[in-house]
Structure 1
Amino acid sequence: MSLFWRIFSLNAVGLVVAAALLLGPVTVSTPVLPGEVLVVVVGLTALLVVNAVVLRVGLAPLGRLGRAMATADLLRPGARPVVSGPVETAELITTYNAMLDRLETERAESAARALSAQERERRRIARELHDEVGQTLTAVLLQLKRVADRAPEPLRHEVSQAQEATRAGLEEIRRIAHRLRPGVLEELGLLSALRSLAAEFSAHGLRVRHDLAGDLPPLTRETELVFYRVAQEGLTNTARHAHADRAELRLTAAPDGVGLLVRDNGRGLGDASDGAGLTGMRERALLIGATLTVEPAPGRGTDVRLHIPTEDRA
């Protein structure tokens, strides 16, 4: 039984007993006059209605608090229930809001540490792939070339196939290392990195059209990295899951901030829930005070939008 019905039932029982006493042993006239019965019944009904209204209004903030707790999402911060109601209820809502502020701050800090460690690990793996595995495969290619020069004619075709497979593996290693550690972002900046990213996906079957504003305000390295990773993850999801053949990559600057759009013409979101990719993008957006939205594109497909306001960018 809800708190409203518990309190209302208790008050109603008391009022009904009081009315019964007025119409029974505790009365001013004997026998009870019809007018007295009418007055008592009307008064009882009015008291019950007023009691129900007062309880409903007084307990409404608790209902709003319950709905806010049920829909709270640390990856979509900012929503807070309004502090209202009696003193005890207002204190409870204030305490909940303070707890939510603390949880969001701790979540953002832990996500920042985790993503920073992830980027360090990406750089380490990329360096080892390039320096260790890449050099080993290069040495294997040189050895296969010497073997091909000395091998008899019947074996040269098989050695050539081994060379091609090793060369393809070396190119794949280099591509993975490049995606793990975007050197072009560190050396040439965000615009060149996004152009290179669009060209990379276009070379693998997804036609990516890019429209990148050249008048961007100064951005921190963390902000540029978040923009690059969101674009990379958005195009990766498009290539893997969207069944799309075209995509659009747009970076714009406006008085209210900087925005990134990744749009495809795929099958859309459907009923799919957020996976690890979208969750990672939302966590990265929180690090720089940006807003990430994923919604259906006009007509068909999916829009991934990242926007950082001007005040947060500074």
Structure 2
Amino acid sequence: MNQLVTINFPHSISVSIKREDLIHPFVSGNKFRKLKYNLLQAKSENQKTLLTFGGAYSNHIAAVAYAGMEQGFQTIGVIRGDELRGKIQENPTLAFAQNCGMQFEFVTRESYRLKSESLFIEKWNQKYGSFYLVPEGGTNDLAVKGCQEILTNEDGVFDYVCCAVGTGGTISGIINSILPHQKVLGFPALKGDFLNEEIRNFAQNENWELINAYHFGGYGKVNSELVAFINQFYSQTKIPLDPIYTGKMVFGVIDLIERNYFPENSKILLIHTGGLQGVQGMNLKLKSKQLPTIDIYD
């Protein structure tokens, strides 16, 4: 079950956080939503194996591994970075996925860029036989369908709905389910404007905007300011944030409030999309650089 937490700000602005991270202990937030109909489709096709793609600390890899185990599928993860071979136990995400039964194929970054090409996919068909392909990040039409279920009738009271953006599937589902008076704000975790086109492939409404000022340098980039914000936010609210997605989005929304971006009396809904499993891996990277770590657990 998720829950709604509301925080009041000056100028009668209220911010509510929808805790999608609480709907499943291991397949949380948008990953649960994205996989829901994909797993049903895989079963309808009588597939026994799921194959997907991801990086070293991918929330998607962890979610597919656990969901596959829970639903009786074999799982294969094609992992970006052949240097990770032999270092699975040093990586919390990969160790978790392996414990869930996932098999790994480690490929170079150059090869990984070919993941959408038919010859690349055929290579794994020849090795593993038939499988159900789940795209990187889980985004496809069925994922968007699942994400359209994030908002409920009760969420119609909000003026703005905000979420982090990775591959564009989650925000597309939210855009498709908003009411006419609502606007969706997306906070990309990646640099660049290419996501607009990706979202337009799935989104049916026009009342949305991407805010590109809060990626902190790009995907996976974190600095001491963001870490301090996440720690302070947890201290004040007891709501844990991840540094790759939701932490940047919440930082951005609060900064925009302080800059008077939102009209007086605005009601803002933030979607907590999960991703907390990646905090452990990020802390390892921060420690290696002798930087402050994220402390979101009592």
- Normalising by the residue count of structure 1, what TM-score does the alignment of the two structures yield? 0.21
The answer to which structure has the higher helix fraction is 1
- Normalising by the residue count of structure 2, what TM-score does the alignment of the two structures yield? 0.22
Structure number with bigger Rg: 1
Does 1 or 2 have the higher relative contact order (CA < 8 Å, sep 6+)?
Answer: 2
